[in-house]
Amino acid sequence: MPSPEGHDTGPNPLEGGANIPYPIAQVLVTLLALYLAAGAIFAVPFAWRGASAVDPAARGATVGFRILITPGVVVLWPALLMKWRRARRGLS
């Protein structure tokens, strides 16, 4: 789409420019939702017990701390799961 000065500013997503096909977008959104759902399920036991196992400084942490770390746990759950498993085996 040309700008008022006559320069091409590229596709405008609001005008249907370089759109991602709907089925691909639907799959990506579904995968993201599943990833975040798995993270939310993992976050509950990790915040309750896993944080203390992975980081000794988290032992005796308050409920506020556990609530505070929950969003990060939801996003980073695969890495934290691996760390927790290593800590449980004593490989930390």
pLDDT of residue 12: 61
pLDDT of residue 7: 65
> Half-sphere exposure of 70 toward its Cβ, with a 13 Å CA cutoff?
14
* Continuous H helices in the chain: 22-45, 51-54, 63-75, 77-89
Domain ranges of the chain: 21-89
User: With contact defined as beta carbons under 8 Å apart, do 87 and 53 qualify?
Assistant: yes
Give this prediction's pTM: 0.72
pLDDT of residue 20: 75
Instruction: State the 10-residue block means of pLDDT for the chain, 92 residues long.
Output: 61 62 92 98 95 92 95 97 92 61
| Residue with token string 């695969």 | 78
